[in-house]
Amino acid sequence: MKHVLSAMVMNQPGVLAHISGMLASRAFNIESLAVGETERRDFSRITFVVAGDNKVLDQVRKQLEKIVTVVKVMDYGNQDIVERDLMLLKVSIADCGLSRVKEMVEIFRAKIVDVGAEHVMIELSGPETKIDAFIDLMRPFGILELVRTGRIALARESSMSIEDALKPPTPYDTAEVEVAV
């Protein structure tokens, strides 16, 4: 079973290496990983997809929470979330022409971002299943190159319980976090 976790971390050099090293040393496999700055420059969000049962998920979460630079860990397992992957795909148009590829691009609400004499580059974002289906449809045309991001996710507001909405803000919400170096 796949689990989506997100960790709010201090935006410092070495944080990602520390976290991924810790997970690897405990034999937790990361299936997907995405990292980026948040609405506050001093924090980054790391979104992981890990495979395993609830025991594995619990261990990953506990290990993450022990790391000093990790401010908060969110488990999206029982929440209604919006999740997206991003893909760039270079596909040949030498045999079929642009129009057939363009039809598929429109059906999947993708975007052609570069056109060459022999190929087009397509951008697509969406759930993993949508991207996988698009890749399968593009294979007969001739995939020249493909790159994908890790998954990103945020909980929908509607999934927040009233108790969670009324909780006092966390230190992340209200104050700067200081770390002795």
Beta carbons within 8 Å of 133's beta carbon, 6+ residues apart: 108
pTM attached to this predicted model: 0.74
- Count of Cβ atoms closer than 10 Å to residue 73 Cβ: 19
The answer to which of 65-69, 88-92, 112-116 has the lowest mean pLDDT is 65-69
Instruction: Say what the pLDDT of residue 60 is.
Output: 86
What integer is the mean pLDDT of 56-82? 89
Confidence of residue 175 (pLDDT cuts 50, 70, 90): very low
pLDDT digits (tens, 9 = 90+) for 15-34: 999 998 888 888 888 888 99
Give the pLDDT confidence score for residue 179 in this predicted structure: 46
What residue ranges define each of the domains in the chain, with the CATH number in brackets? Answer: 2-79+156-174 (3.30.70.260), 82-152 (3.30.70.1150)
SS3 180: coil
Paired with 5 in beta bridges are 48, 75
Q: What is the mean pLDDT of residues 82-108?
A: 93
